[in-house]
Amino acid sequence: MDTTGRHPSTAQAVRGFAYDHLPEHLQKVSRRFHDLAENLLSQLPDDPELSAALRKLREAKDCAVLLAALTADVEGSG
């Protein structure tokens, strides 16, 4: 995501949304969060609320990707 000219707290908040390094089944989950973060970044100005929204979105993404990984592990081992 391009954070050129954005406040440092906004730029920091969007870190962690990359998904290319993940296996395909996890990319499908993570990509949705990345795309939403990118949309928010393009639509909203720098503000503490934007930074908070992005951090919470990243936290939700982490939970969803973890669940997808754990579910795949359980389904793959049965």
Q: What global pTM score does this model have?
A: 0.88
Tell me 5's DSSP state.
T
Computed over every residue of the chain, the mean pLDDT equals: 94
* Domain range list for the chain: 8-77
30-61 confidence digits (pLDDT tens)? 999 999 999 999 999 999 999 999 999 999 99
**pLDDT the model gives residue 55:** 97
Q: Nearest CA to 34 among 8, 6, 75, 64?
A: 64
12-35 confidence digits (pLDDT tens)? 999 999 999 999 999 999 999 999
